[in-house]
Amino acid sequence: MEYKILFKDYNKALKQNRLLGLKCADCGKVTCPPMMVCQECAGTNLQIQELSGKGKVVSFTTSYLNSEGRENELPITIVLVELEEGPWIMGNLDDVDPKRVNMNLIGTRVSLGHRVFPGDKYSAGNAARPVFSYAEI
């Protein structure tokens, strides 16, 4: 059995600000980032769905420490976002002063953009990552 969405295809789409997910025809739930099967019911009857990229922050952390070679990204705010379609994804939050980030951020509506992590010697190439900004109301 082949993957419906390989990482390379997800990555290519995200570089165009398009977020690809998988809609399960059995249980109706959406999986993103993609997996081989539905993350809810393990079903394989999946269809590719382009997601809205809109959602709300469910948690956050501002890091003052990072992995070797990524110190220049600090401080960096990492968020978990619940997408309108249901799944959660990890990304960064842009355009925010890390010192002003607090618990009020939880519940804030955000929308998707991206930046590319160029990769390091262990990462087998680059990877686009979701970078969210405050959604226009």
Partner 1 sequence: MRRVVVLGGGHSKFCYNSPKTSVEMLSEVAIDAIRESNLSVKDIQAVNVGNVLGDFSEGQGMVQSFFANDIGCFNVPATRFEGACASGSLALRDAFIWIASGYYDIVLVGGVERATAMGTALATRTFAMFGDSRYEFPSGFTFPAAFGLLAHLYAYRYGIPLERLKEQMAAVSVQSHEYAMKNPNAQIQKKLTKEEVLNSFMVTTPIQLHDACPFSDGAAAVVLASEEVARKLTDQPVYICGIGQTSSGKLSSQYRYLPRLRARELAAEQAYRMAGLTPKDIDVCELHDCFSIAAIIAAEGLGLFEFGTAGEAWERGETRLEGRIPINISGGLKAKGHPIGATGVSQAYELTRQLRGQLAEQGRQVDGARYGLMDTLGGDGVLVSIIFSNQ
Which of 9, 136, 120, 11 lies closest to 68 in space, CA to CA?
120
Q: Which of 13, 18, 35, 135 binds partner 1 (CB under 8 A)?
A: 35
Query: Rounded distance, CA 6 to CA 39, Å?
Result: 15
In angstroms, give the least distance from the CB of 118 to partner 1. 10
Please, which of residues 70-129 interact with partner 1 by CB under 8 A?
A: 70-71, 73, 76, 78, 80, 82, 87-92, 101-103, 106, 117, 120, 122-123, 127-129
Q: What are phi and psi of 98, to 5 degrees?
A: -55, -30
Contact 5, 34 (CB under 8 A): yes
Which of 47, 50, 61, 94 touches partner 1 (CB under 8 A)? 61
Distance of closest approach, residue 27 Cβ to partner 1, in angstroms: 14
Task: Give the helix ranges, DSSP H, for 1-137.
Answer: 7-14
**Least distance (Å) from partner 1 to the CB of residue 36?**
11
Cis peptide preceding 87, ω within 30 of 0: no
Contact residues toward partner 1 (CB under 8 A) are 7, 11, 33, 35, 39, 58-71, 73, 76, 78, 80, 82, 87-92, 101-103, 106, 117, 120, 122-123, 127-130
